[in-house]
């Protein structure tokens, strides 16, 4: 076991960074496959049925009646990440080595993997409605569980699909990280939403949904209580935002019927993306309000102002010096063009 991870804040005005030397040790299926030049033998996938011993013991699973934990018979399986970005911290927090400039916190939290199907070659868009629904319910239930830790300030759900999107294994999976700080992107979105509501008396996102629906040019899918759009200021070509029409700031408050509806919309949207652009790599991420009391403002201010959503970011271009220098992305595909193409693709 090498050094534990820690959070450091850039004293020059940047955000938190996680220094996680342990993650450098994780195997890369794609590199291994290239080295073997003949495809990774399926037997070596730690997420395939029969290999349950290759992962840490499961924390949750959707299982056939009578099957036992860490054996086969599951349709969705949750395990701790073997190479976590953050994790349980045994040692006392290291002291910041300076009176203030160099701020350090222990990398406390949790990092879990949701194995979305036993089938190595499926992808989310081709899961059955029932299995996709079970995945989304599992996301909700695990986030709820991790939020109960009083040290947890935010739980980030994400999915990396394809090597260029940062996946190191191709077996369909998503990841959940419980963090001791509220991420800067969430804090900024909440701030914008709270200010908008203070000025206009309504939820910023409800207003955007309304205007996007009326305008229509950036709408990709409008079905079953969810709207998928190519966001007005898309940072990436074919970026997609999926959002419930009904105002709600917390994804974890969805009931089983709503998670099932969301799963079907996600399958539809990801299917359009796959067929329109020949299965591109993508990142998927969930944004919701932090757990009660940890949003930096009273819950009563955040709940009516913020609106949970999912972002899907295809990896079709490279982020380069200009973007890192400025924070301004250059996107060569207008969202109106992207939406038109994704709309044409039948569900």
Q: Restricting to residues 25-84, name those near a copy of itself by CB under 8 A.
A: none
The torsion region of residue 300 among left (phi > 0), alpha (psi -120 to 50) and beta comes to alpha
Contact 329, 237 (CB under 8 A): no
Q: Which of 158, 279, 341, 347 binds a copy of itself (CB under 8 A)?
A: 158
What's the CA gap between 231 and 242, in Å, rounded? 10
Does the protein bind a copy of itself through residue 95 (CB under 8 A)?
A: no
Longest dimension (CA), the chain: 60
Nearest partner of 263 among 156, 163, 127, judged by Cα = 127
Does the protein bind a copy of itself through residue 245 (CB under 8 A)?
A: no
Is 111 an active-site residue? no
What's the CA gap between 250 and 154, in Å, rounded? 12
- Closer residue to a copy of itself, CB minimum distance, 90 or 332: 332
- Closer residue to a copy of itself, CB minimum distance, 53 or 216: 216
Binding to a copy of itself by CB under 8 A, coded x per residue (else -) over 290-329, reads: ---------------------x-x----xxxxx-xxxxxx
How many chain residues interact with a copy of itself (CB under 8 A)?
83
Buried-state track 284-307, b at ≥16 Cβ within 10 A, e below 16: bbbbbbbbeeebeeebebbbbbbb
Does the protein bind a copy of itself through residue 144 (CB under 8 A)?
A: no
Nearest partner of 86 among 2, 27, 147, 19, judged by Cα = 19
What's the CA gap between 299 and 151, in Å, rounded? 18
**Bridge partners for 219 per DSSP:** 229
Contact 174, 201 (CB under 8 A): no
Count Cβ atoms within 10 A of the Cβ of residue 39 and give its class: 0-12 exposed, 13-18 middle, 19 or more buried.
exposed
Residue partners of 258: CB distance under 8 A and separation at least 6: 225, 244
Q: Which one of 220-228, 268-276, 277-285, 339-347 is the stretch in contact with a copy of itself (CB under 8 A)?
A: 277-285
Q: Which of 27, 42, 121, 185 binds a copy of itself (CB under 8 A)?
A: 185
Does the protein bind a copy of itself through residue 208 (CB under 8 A)?
A: yes
Q: Which of 32, 48, 334, 347 binds a copy of itself (CB under 8 A)?
A: 334
- Closer residue to a copy of itself, CB minimum distance, 1 or 233: 233
Q: Which of 166, 225, 293, 298 binds a copy of itself (CB under 8 A)?
A: 166
Does the protein bind a copy of itself through residue 234 (CB under 8 A)?
A: yes
Name the minimum Å distance from CB 228 to a copy of itself.
Answer: 15
What's the CA gap between 4 and 19, in Å, rounded? 9
- Closer residue to a copy of itself, CB minimum distance, 34 or 255: 34
Q: Catalytic residue among 161, 173, 205, 309, which?
A: 173
Alpha-carbon torsion (287, 292, 298, 300), positive or negative? positive
Does the protein bind a copy of itself through residue 201 (CB under 8 A)?
A: no
Cβ atoms within 10 Å, residue 126: 16
Q: Hey, which residues between 102 and 131 contact a copy of itself (CB under 8 A)?
A: 102
- Closer residue to a copy of itself, CB minimum distance, 42 or 319: 319
Q: Which one of 66-74, 87-95, 188-196, 221-229 is the stretch in contact with a copy of itself (CB under 8 A)?
A: 188-196
Q: Which one of 31-39, 202-210, 271-279, 294-302 is the stretch in contact with a copy of itself (CB under 8 A)?
A: 202-210
Strand, helix or coil at 231?
coil
Does the protein bind a copy of itself through residue 8 (CB under 8 A)?
A: yes
Name the minimum Å distance from CB 273 to a copy of itself.
Answer: 15
Q: Which of 44, 213, 276, 337 binds a copy of itself (CB under 8 A)?
A: 337
- Closer residue to a copy of itself, CB minimum distance, 241 or 272: 241
CB-side neighbour CA atoms (13 Å) of 261: 17
What is the set of active-site residues?
173
């Amino acid at each position: 076991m090498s050094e534990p991870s820690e959070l450091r804040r850039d004293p020059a005005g940047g955000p938190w960074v996680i220094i996680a030397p342990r993650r450098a040790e994780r195997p890369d299926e794609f590199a291994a496959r290239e080295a073997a030049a003949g495809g990774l033998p399926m037997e070596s996938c730690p997420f395939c049925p029969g290999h349950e011993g290759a992962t840490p013991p499961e924390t949750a699973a959707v299982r056939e009646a009578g099957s036992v934990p860490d054996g086969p018979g599951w349709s969705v399986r949750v395990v701790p990440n073997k190479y976590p970005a953050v994790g349980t911290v045994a040692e006392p927090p290291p002291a910041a080595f300076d009176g203030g400039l160099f701020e350090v916190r222990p990398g406390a939290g949790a990092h879990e993997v949701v194995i979305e199907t036993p089938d190595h070659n499926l992808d989310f868009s081709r899961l059955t409605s029932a299995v996709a629904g079970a995945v989304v319910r599992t996301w909700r239930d695990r986030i709820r569980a991790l939020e109960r830790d009083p040290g947890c300030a935010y739980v980030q759900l994400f999915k990396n699909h394809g090597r260029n999107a940062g996946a190191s294994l191709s077996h369909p999976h998503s990841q959940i990280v419980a963090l001791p700080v509220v991420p800067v992107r969430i804090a900024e979105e909440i701030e914008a939403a709270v200010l908008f509501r203070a000025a206009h008396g309504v939820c910023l996102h409800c207003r955007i949904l309304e205007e996007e629906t009326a305008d229509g040019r950036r709408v990709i899918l409008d079905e079953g209580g969810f709207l998928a759009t190519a966001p007005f200021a898309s940072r990436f070509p074919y970026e997609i935002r999926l959002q419930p029409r009904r105002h709600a700031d917390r994804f974890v408050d969805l009931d089983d019927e709503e998670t099932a509806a969301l799963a079907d919309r996600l399958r539809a949207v990801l299917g359009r993306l796959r067929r329109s652009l020949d299965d591109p790599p993508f990142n998927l991420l969930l944004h919701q309000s932090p757990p009660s009391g940890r949003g930096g403002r009273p819950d009563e201010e955040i709940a009516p102002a913020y609106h949970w959503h999912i972002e899907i970011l295809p990896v079709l271009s490279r982020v380069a010096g200009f973007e890192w220098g400025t924070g301004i992305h250059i996107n060569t595909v207008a969202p109106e063009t992207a939406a038109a193409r994704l709309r044409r693709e039948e569900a």
